Structure 1
Amino acid sequence: MEIDAAVVEEESGSFDIETVELESPQAGEVLVRVVGAGVCHTDMIVRDQLYPTPLPAVLGHEGSGVVEAIGDGVNRVEPGDHVVLSFDYDDDCHSCRGGHPAYCESFFEHNFGGQRPEDGTSPLSRNGERISGRFFGQSSFATHAIATERNVVPVDTGGDVPLELLGPLGCGIQTGAGAVINSLDPQAGSSIAIFGAGSVGLSAVMAADLKGCTEIVTIDLKESRLETAADLGATETVNPEAVDDVIETVTEYTDGGVDYALETTGVADVAEQAVQTLTQRGTLGIVGAPPLGTEASYDVNDLLLNGRSITGIVEGDSNPQEFIPDLVDLYRRGKFPFDELVTYYDFDEIERAVEDSENGATIKPVLQISEP
């Protein structure tokens, strides 16, 4: 079938909407009519080839939509179901079998390869030319996407939850919320510092509030985002340009340091700062994705003598089939108002959505691609 899709032709190129060809779903695959698609920082770093998905490519990895057709062997969903598209995984390796698909041993191939890992083919082409069309198992910057039964998550919108809103649960929102709820798992009454107040960081703020953290310090350069953080549960906000020393400021606010810290910016210097805000036996979670090969330095004795730990977190260590429906339910109950982060754009405004995301004018852009 012919569909409209936003194609990135070359490194740092634009997202140009073109007509391309999409195959029918193969065994284990699902054809989804995309209703909404979140714009994420990862789309930009792949556009700029900091992660080497082959170009030309259709990106987009926070899709939501309606199932239109299924391939042989699919039994989790059927045509007409409302779904969120999340990350892909092999469902067979040690991590997947242990309930941690975000740490799939084949994660990179399934999500950044741009092709079916099983046979190297792509469901997308243009005039006979192959286009990478399996970005995060979906390539949802398009009117339709081929996903797999693994990464299609059925959701109950119930007439009161906008389907177009839910795409960002597949990556960014899931990452921030899951990093707190699943990975760090702070106890009620504990303290946390969250570095970065984009969609991931603000999702972490909401999750920390849900978990009962009594001190939630949020650090960002944009005052508007710090104001949003305060509205969503942050007890203190810090603009590094307005204080002499971020580490000293955070430790003063929290009477000696935080129990937990979360780094969402992908900036090595920030990660180095974050670990120094921890109290004894504190834990730093790293979710921000810098260019491949980025290194950060830590004083080994500072970690050793204070019992501090650092952990990497992918996709909030989530099992999307369980965690995304939970987040939808929390939203429905008014306990996780992630809609406050979202600004909608028409599909043909994708370049403006990307620009607004990069300059900080919008926290979480969502493309409205078709009617629910």
Structure 2
Amino acid sequence: MLAKAIVHYAPVDGEMVYKIKDVEVPDPGDNELLVEMIATGICHTDIFLASAPEGPRAKYPKILGHEGIGWVRKVGRNVTSAHEGDCVALTVANCKECRFCTSGHPTACKVFNSLNLECPPGFTSTSEAGDKESIGGYYFGQSSFASWSNVLESSAINISHLITKDEDFSILAPLGCGFQTGAGSITNLGGVTAEDEVVITGLGGVGLSGLMAAKRLNCKTIIAVDRVPSRLELAKSLGATHLINTLESDYKTEVLRITEGSGPTVAMDTTGVISLMQDSIEVLSRLGTMVLVGVPPPGAELSFEYFSFLSTGKKIVAGLEGDAVPWTFIPEMIKWYRDGEFPIDRLVKTYPAYDFGKAIADMNSGETVKPVLIWGNTSMR
């Protein structure tokens, strides 16, 4: 099978290097599905890992992408969760056997790194001279930056029973990571209820989906924090009760003013900015929960004054994908969207796959919240 793909090569001076080219996709293995991609979201994790220096844990060339949605075109002989012609939303891979997977925490899978990040050979390409090049695949079990890809069964969530013929499938693609992470971090890791006062720092796709989840739970106070005015206005329209622009106001002073000195009961950071994370811990209320989601630079350390932390009963929690169980949480989010409680369509902007560079630029500039690449076949057939 011949496919188009965005193939990443070793970065140069910290900048990612990629080519859009033809690649060859083999038949699926026994526990794999051959998926024709409809669309795939772009996540900051893709950019981060595509910019990592080549080494034992970062091998090139490889095909990234981990927010895919598509049609099943062929299945391996052991696959039972989907059949040819089904529509699947793609998410992180898991082993389904370790104690974390079997106890309802598949995103904490014991072999998460090897299943999702190692990118073993999954594609090949042929040069004009006829030489074969091996290309890493199976990124997050899917490598959805290819128009066709073999996907691990554990990464595929069958949503055929949840879709309609006139569905805009591109909107649903980011449910597999970004939107799941934001909503799950609020509902699962934060344990948010209507009585909570929540502050969310960073209003990208993860932060805004977390904000929408908090709004759905009728939180009495939702404080949205960013430095991009358009993101703050969007947050207000999605349910934020208060806004803080960190370029114009002191973050800690404003949070304490809004919460009348008590501090937020739940703080979720999506920025990965250490100073902001430490400020959030400092202003957190007694018995409050700090939810860490953002990814700081490698080697970054977070510190706090131990006794004051201990004496106030504060908690710090972290987890991948909002500690969600994707095969139940993704269908649940689709229902929220259908019911008008989770307007993810307001975050998505689509781009043809060949406009990958523009999509990245628009995301980095703040013009686009969640870019989604379209591979072409968006209609049911």
Indicate whether the TM-score tops 0.5. Answer: yes
- Residues in 1 aligned to 2:69 and 2:53: alpha-carbon distance in whole angstroms: 26
User: Does 2:123 correspond to 1:94?
Assistant: no
Asked whether the 8 Å contact 1:198–1:363 carries over to 2, the reply is yes
Aligned length: 365
The Cα of 1:277 is off from its aligned counterpart by 2.3
Give 1:370 deviation, angstroms: 1.5
Structure 1 Cα separation of the partners of residues 316 and 216 of structure 2:
23
Q: For 1:162-211, what per-residue CA distance to the aligned partner results, in whole angstroms no more than 9, with x for missing partners?
A: 22221100000000001011221212121100010000000000000111
In 2, are the aligned partners of 1:197 and 1:225 still within 8 Å (CA)?
yes
1:167 aligns with 2:178: no
Shift of 1:154: 1.2
Question: Where does residue 266 of structure 2 map in the other structure?
Answer: 260
State the partner residue of 1:153: 157
Matched, 1:277 2:276: no
1:50: how far off?
A: 6.9
**Residues 1:197 and 2:200 aligned together:** no
Counterpart-to-counterpart distance in 2, 1:322 and 1:83: 13
What's the TM-score once normalised by structure 2's chain length? 0.93
> Superposition pairs for residues 184-223 of structure 1, below 5 Å?
184-223=190-229
The amino acid across from 1:332 in the alignment is R
Map 1:169-184 → 2, pairs under 5 A: 169-184=175-190
Note the 1:1-372 alignment, pairs <5 A.
1-11=1-11, 12-49=15-52, 52-115=57-120, 122-127=121-126, 128-155=132-159, 156-243=162-249, 245-255=250-260, 256-372=262-378
**Could you say if the C-alpha distance between residues 366 and 183 of structure 1 is closer, same or farther in structure 2, counting changes exceeding 3 Å?**
same
Check whether the contact 1:65–1:164 (CA below 8 A) recurs between aligned residues. no
CA deviations on 1:244-290 (whole Å, 9 max, x unpaired) are x2112101101220110001011211211111221110000001122
Q: Are the aligned partners of 2:170 and 2:350 in contact in 1 as well (CA < 8 Å)?
A: no
Amino acid aligned to 1:10: A
- Distance (Å, rounded) in 1 between the aligned partners of 2:177 and 2:33: 19
Distance 2:53 2:328 in 1: 31
Unaligned runs of 5+ in 2: 127-131
Q: Is the 8 A contact 1:283 1:309 kept in 2?
A: yes
d(CA) in 2 for partners of 1:50, 1:104 = 26
Report SS of the residue matched to 1:241. Answer: coil
Is the 1:172–1:199 Cα contact (8 Å) retained in structure 2? yes
In 2, the alpha carbon distance for the partners of 1:290 and 1:109 equals 22
List per-residue Cα deviations over 1:110-135 (Å, max 9, x = no partner): 111112xxxxxx22122322211111
- Quote how far apart the aligned CAs of 1:160 are: 4.9
State the shift of 1:159 in Å: 3.0
> Are 1:50 and 1:291, in contact at CA under 8 Å, matched by a contact in 2?
no
Contact 1:275 1:284 in 2 (8 A): yes
> In the superposition, relative to structure 1, how do residues 50 and 329 fare at CA in structure 2: closer, same or farther (>3 Å)?
farther
- For residues 208-249 of structure 1, what are the alpha-carbon distances to aligned partners after superposition, in whole Å with 9 as ceiling and x for unaligned? 011121100011010100001111111001011111x21121
C-alpha distance in structure 2 between counterparts of 1:179 and 1:165, whole Å: 20
Matched-pair identity in %: 36
Q: Secondary structure at the match of 1:65?
A: strand
- What amino acid is aligned across from residue 311 of structure 1 in structure 2? V
Q: Which amino acid aligns with 1:273?
A: D
**What's 1:119 paired with?**
none
Matches of 2:179 and 2:167, distance apart in 1:
16
Equivalent-residue separation in structure 1 for 2:300 and 2:37 (angstroms): 34
The amino acid across from 1:254 in the alignment is: T
- Report the Cα offset of residue 53 of structure 1: 3.3
Tell whether the 8 Å contact from 1:82 to 1:163 is kept in structure 2 after alignment.
Answer: no
Indicate the RMSD between aligned Cα atoms, in angstroms: 1.3
**TM-score normalised over the length of structure 1:** 0.96
Report the Cα offset of residue 325 of structure 1. Answer: 0.6
* Letter aligned with residue 166 of structure 1: L
What is the distance in 2 between the residues matched to 1:232 and 1:313? 25
What letter corresponds to residue 225 of structure 1 in structure 2?
R
**Residues 157-166 or 315-324, more deviating:** 157-166
Aligned residue in 1 for 2:129: none
CA contact 2:351–2:372 (8 Å) conserved in 1: yes
Paired residues of 2:286 and 2:312 also in contact (CA < 8 A): yes
* Deviation string, structure 1 residues 32-66 (Cα, Å, up to 9, x no partner): 10001001100000111179431111111100111
Stretches of structure 1 that go unaligned for 5 or more consecutive residues are 116-121
Which residue identity does 2:3 align to in structure 1?
I
Distance in 2, matches of 1:139 and 1:236, equals 39
